Amino acid sequence: MRKKMCVWAVALAGFTSSVRILPAQSDAWLMKNYRFTGPPAPRSIQPVDPVMAELQRVQSATLWIMRQAKSDGDYPTALAAASQAAMNAQAIAAITERRIALATQAREIAEESTAGVQPALYFIAFRDHTVVTATQYWVDRWLLHYMTQQGSHVQVRMDLVDRELSVRLNRELNQEFRLPQ
């Protein structure tokens, strides 16, 4: 086996020394000969888990060792590599099943928490005697920001808000509504 590995190493060294690095091609040549598609769509590329990537790398190396040992007639090494490959495959399957179970559980919890739950509604009264409902609100200096039930973000000046009426309306609904002075 060592003799074959030495032959492969010498052949690889000879190949790499014969490869010539070409100067960079011009942009016109690249545009003519290659089709550029741009970046991938958002969320189309899933993040790679480092543990799973390492297991895949180990599995690939193990399978290569198994095939190489078999072709060399080194059957004890091939059997050991096959055993290791089987254990790697079981580990990969167990991790994948666990991740699927966790993702399913998280999705079920999210569905349960949002099912039938109405978001808190706040009443915001204005000095022109109009009242709007908001699902969220926050204050940024002299601006009041709020989200409508339809999901729109609205900004109004604080001097246009009727503070006393807004607090009273929300207190009647047992909803805490605070605006800074």
Please state, in angstroms and rounded to a whole number, the distance separating the CA atoms of residues 127 and 179. Answer: 15
Per DSSP, what are the bridge partners of residue 146?
137, 154
pLDDT at 161: 92
Q: Which CATH architecture group holds 122-172?
A: Roll (2.30)
Continuous segment of H or E residues that includes residue 107: helix 75-114
Per-domain residue ranges of the chain: 49-117, 122-172
pLDDT at 26: 63
- Given a cut of 50, the residues of the chain with pLDDT beneath it are 16-19, 21
Nearest to 121 by CA among 140, 85, 148: 148
The whole model's pTM is what? 0.40
pLDDT at 21: 47
Per DSSP, what are the bridge partners of residue 140?
143
pLDDT at 116: 60
